[in-house]
């Protein structure tokens, strides 16, 4: 049986998956296709699936012991829709045409472009497509095309599209005031991406690309893969401005996945939690055990300072298989305990109240789901009841309770 710390058990149906825990109790394991993101609004969970034909699952979690799937959207071969955001009556999902390395013989539909799909979810059980917004890069694009991860505040979407003339994903702001007619407001790219404008990248392939921006006030905290992270000033959304950047790759081999601004001060200072994704390593970088979490002081936002890191205590001090270490923190911050999806190590809850001395206070390591050879915890969120939702990349959604 898996292990857990600080999590509480509520009940199970279908395949049992109890896990090991401390400080967390499992409430329920919902057997469903795995995914890339889970969000919860009004006791409804929305799951962006990792693999077609599944696209987006909509699950009623009013009774967390007995979740009920109420709708499902599908995706065609060669594509996926693994990210989702909701705000009010609007749901936005990404659409991405897989890169050549991930197609596995699948052929996307002729003329299919990536981008965003925008839905009316005033009736969650009957999502209604309002429109598809498409990126402009054509089928000849070398890498995955479309939109990857993104943020959405109900009016503006802060996205990571691939666009003609650019190498890799850039940052773009879309206005969804009229959801049927999304309009570009502004864009920003790392110098070197705009090859059509005469820029020359100093990196290989699409190593420097926008992963996703997160808005806080008039700033976008934007992860940029092997390009580290950047802080952007969006006081004028039509002209995003570079404030500062931070990049520790090299020497560390992993891409930067998420730059999460803590929405309150700790000891009268401002901080970011930054996760690297344990998924891709540049072959000419030195080997290292596994990706971990960073704490960054941004009190002086023009000079971000990494001040501490956290790694799971049991992580071997030798290079690990990809997708073993850190991945994604919970982007809804409710206090100084930050739940983090840690791939093969499940859920880790990290106390950041002492920024120079990060400390694990609870964890939940699920049992390996049926059909997998190990745990692949990919995303985590919380709802208004404080319940934690931990999504496996391959199979299953855990509902957990902090004790």
Phi, psi of 11 (to 5 degrees): 170, 165
- Three-state secondary structure call for residue 142: coil
pTM for the complete prediction? 0.94
**Cis preceding-peptide flag for 300 (omega within 30 of 0):** no
**Phi then psi for 381, rounded to 5 degrees?**
-145, 175
Question: pLDDT per residue over 162-192, tens digit each?
Answer: 999 999 999 999 999 999 999 999 999 999 9
Residues 6+ positions from 232 with CB-CB distance below 8 Å: 171, 188, 213, 219, 220, 222, 240, 241, 242, 243
Say whether pLDDT at 216 is over 80: yes
Q: pLDDT for 222-254, tens place per residue?
A: 999 999 999 999 999 999 999 999 999 988 999
How far does CA 325 lie from the centroid of its chain?
Answer: 15
Question: Looking at domain 3-402, does it have CATH number 2.60.40.10?
Answer: no
pLDDT in tens, 340-383: 999 999 999 999 999 999 999 999 999 999 999 999 999 999 99
Cα-Cα-Cα-Cα dihedral of 385, 352, 10, 37, to 10°? 70
Other beta carbons within 10 angstroms of residue 318's beta carbon come to 9
Alpha-carbon span 189 to 132, nearest angstrom: 23
* DSSP class of 161: B
Phi/psi for 49 (5° steps) reads -85, 150
Ranges of each domain in the chain: 3-402
């Amino acid at each position: 049986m898996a292990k857990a710390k600080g999590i509480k058990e509520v009940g199970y149906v279908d395949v049992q998956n109890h896990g090991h825990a401390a400080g967390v109790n499992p409430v329920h394991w919902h057997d469903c296709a795995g995914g890339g993101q889970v969000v919860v609004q009004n006791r409804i969970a929305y799951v962006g699936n990792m693999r077609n034909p599944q696209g987006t699952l909509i699950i009623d979690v009013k009774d967390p012991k007995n979740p009920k799937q109420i709708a499902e959207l599908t995706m065609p071969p060669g594509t996926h829709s693994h990210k989702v955001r909701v705000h009010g009556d609007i749901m936005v999902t990404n659409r991405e045409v897989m890169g050549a390395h991930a197609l596995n013989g699948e052929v996307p539909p002729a003329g299919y472009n990536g981008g965003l799909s925008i839905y009316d979810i005033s009736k969650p059980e009957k999502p209604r497509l309002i429109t598809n917004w498409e990126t402009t890069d054509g089928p000849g694009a070398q890498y995955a095309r479309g939109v990857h991860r993104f943020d959405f505040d109900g009016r503006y979407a802060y996205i990571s599209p691939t666009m003609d003339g650019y190498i890799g994903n850039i940052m773009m702001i879309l206005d969804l005031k009229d959801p049927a007619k999304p309009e570009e407001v502004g864009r920003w790219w790392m110098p070197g991406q705009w090859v059509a404008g005469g820029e020359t990248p100093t990196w290989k392939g699409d190593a420097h690309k926008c992963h996703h921006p997160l808005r806080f006030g008039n700033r976008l905290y934007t992860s940029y893969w092997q390009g580290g992270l950047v802080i952007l000033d969006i006081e004028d959304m039509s002209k995003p401005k570079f404030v500062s950047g931070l990049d520790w790759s090299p020497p560390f081999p992993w891409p930067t996945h998420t730059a999460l601004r803590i929405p309150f001060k700790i000891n009268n200072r401002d901080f970011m939690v930054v996760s690297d994704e344990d998924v891709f390593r540049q072959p000419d970088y030195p080997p290292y055990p596994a990706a971990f979490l960073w704490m960054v002081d941004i009190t002086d936002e023009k000079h971000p300072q990494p001040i501490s890191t956290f790694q799971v205590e049991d992580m071997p001090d030798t290079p690990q298989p990809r997708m073993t270490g850190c991945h994604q923190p919970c982007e809804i911050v409710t206090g100084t305990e930050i739940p983090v999806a840690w791939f093969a190590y499940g859920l880790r809850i990290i106390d950041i109240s002492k920024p120079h001395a990060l400390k694990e206070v609870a964890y939940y390591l699920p049992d390996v789901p049926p059909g997998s050879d190990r745990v692949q915890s990919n995303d985590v969120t919380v709802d208004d009841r404080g319940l934690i939702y931990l999504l496996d990349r391959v199979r299953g959604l855990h509902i957990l309770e902090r004790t």
